[in-house]
Amino acid sequence: MIAATAPGKIILFGEHAVVYGRPALAAPIHHLRARATIEETGAPDVTLTAPDLNRTALLSNVNPHNPLAAIVRAVEKHCHCSLSDGYTLSVTSAIPIASGLGSGAAISVAVIRALAVYMGQGEAFTRELVSALAYEVERLHHGTPSGVDNTVIAFEQPVYFVRHDPQPAIELLTPGRPLRLLIGDTGVRSATKDVVGDVRRQWAADSRHFDSIFDACGRIAEAGRSALVAGDLAAVGTLMNDNHDWLVRMTVSSAPLDKLVAAARDGGALGAKLSGAGRGGNMIALVTGETEAAVAERLAAAGAVRIYKSDVG
Ligand code: PMV
């Protein structure tokens, strides 16, 4: 049996603005992972299965927009080969879906990695190629993804990312001091595509206003990169707070997100913000060894349905 995995991710700075060409910073969550396995069956057709969701289907029968079929097709197109029979492809994931933690891109990356090994091309599938193929799949689901999710998940390192066509500008970052984050889940699911589409409608209606918000987020991401690399955790926290305020103005926060962000700050977090598309999903709080327990307690009291820990760096 072949198995491959890929991590979830958080966005430290710049969500939404990154779709409009401003920089963003993202980091993998190494211990929350999606996993893909491939077992040869020798049978005609391919069985696609997602045991967590209780779903099984044959590749030949599913709609081309089926997420797993779309990944198989993207790899087939790249390698000009057929991957349409002889195995079972199974996916499981510890990453909550529709929560801003990159579950879709993580599944794509895990499946692409497993298919590469299955074809005996594990080495040829570089991180750049895996990311580019996952981006093709993201485009099918999200319309106008920036590409930050597939990049940080395929590279598995903190990244500074700017969308450019045809290739994004990517810089892999090493934090000067590790960041200790708590991730608080509102338990409210929110589809990235809907939120991104709504921001686009608002931007089209008032582009001057929205461009000025995106510019502010871009400046925060630039300053965030310097603070992260310098290991200036206090500055990182302040910039996270600023970024959240701009995301509120962008209308992508929500009462449960704001409540968790306020609770984390009350508990002593250096900074807190929503992470990902917003209107639900997760927020992140920058803590220290001294404040971690108090912040976790406040998050739980404020209604976080799950709290994860994640170190960056
Ligand atoms: O998939 P999410 O919810 O983490 O959102 C991705 C970040 C956005 O900037 C909102 C969209 C994008 O394509 O970059």
Q: What is the pLDDT of residue 260?
A: 98
Mean pLDDT confidence for 42-56 = 94
Between CA 186 and CA 99 the distance in angstroms is: 9
Residue 123 burial (CB count, 10 A): 8
What secondary structure letter does DSSP report for 119?
T
The bridge status of strand 2-13 relative to strand 24-40 is antiparallel
Mean pLDDT confidence for 192-214 = 96
More confident residue, 143 or 246: 246
Does 138 contact ligand 1 (Cβ within 6 A)? Answer: no
* Prior bond of 23 cis (ω within 30°): no
Best residue among 10, 12, 13, 15 to mutate for probing ligand 1, ranked by most atoms within 8 Å of CB: 15
Q: What is the pLDDT of residue 134?
A: 97
Full set of structural domains in the chain with CATH:
2-172 (3.30.230.10), 179-312 (3.30.70.890)
Q: What is the pLDDT of residue 40?
A: 96
Does 190 contact ligand 1 (Cβ within 6 A)? Answer: no
The answer, yes or no, to whether residue 165 has pLDDT greater than 90, is no
Which of 87, 93, 85, 86 is closest to 109 using CA atoms? 93
Residues with catalytic function? 149
State pLDDT tens for residues 101-132: 999 999 999 999 999 999 999 999 999 999 99
| Exposure letters 6-21 (e unless 16+ CB within 10 A, then b) | bbbbbbbbbbbbbbbe
Q: How far is CA 124 from CA 127, 128, 129, in A?
A: 9, 10, 8
Residue nearest to atom 14 of ligand 1 (CA): 146
Between CA 285 and CA 209 the distance in angstroms is: 28
Q: What is the pLDDT of residue 99?
A: 87
User: Which pTM value belongs to this model?
Assistant: 0.95
State pLDDT tens for residues 1-48: 999 999 999 999 999 999 999 999 999 999 999 999 999 999 999 999
Does 277 contact ligand 1 (Cβ within 6 A)? Answer: yes
Q: What is the pLDDT of residue 90?
A: 98
The answer, yes or no, to whether residue 142 has pLDDT greater than 80, is no
Does 146 contact ligand 1 (Cβ within 6 A)? Answer: yes
Between CA 115 and CA 243 the distance in angstroms is: 38
Q: What are phi and psi of 309, to 5 degrees?
A: -105, 145
Q: What is the pLDDT of residue 64?
A: 79
Give distance in angstroms: CA of 175 to centre of ligand 1: 22
The answer, yes or no, to whether residue 97 has pLDDT greater than 90, is no
Give distance in angstroms: CA of 193 to centre of ligand 1: 8
Between CA 274 and CA 15 the distance in angstroms is: 9
Burial degree of 249 (CB within 10 A; 0-12, 13-18, 19+): middle
Mean pLDDT confidence for 279-285 = 97
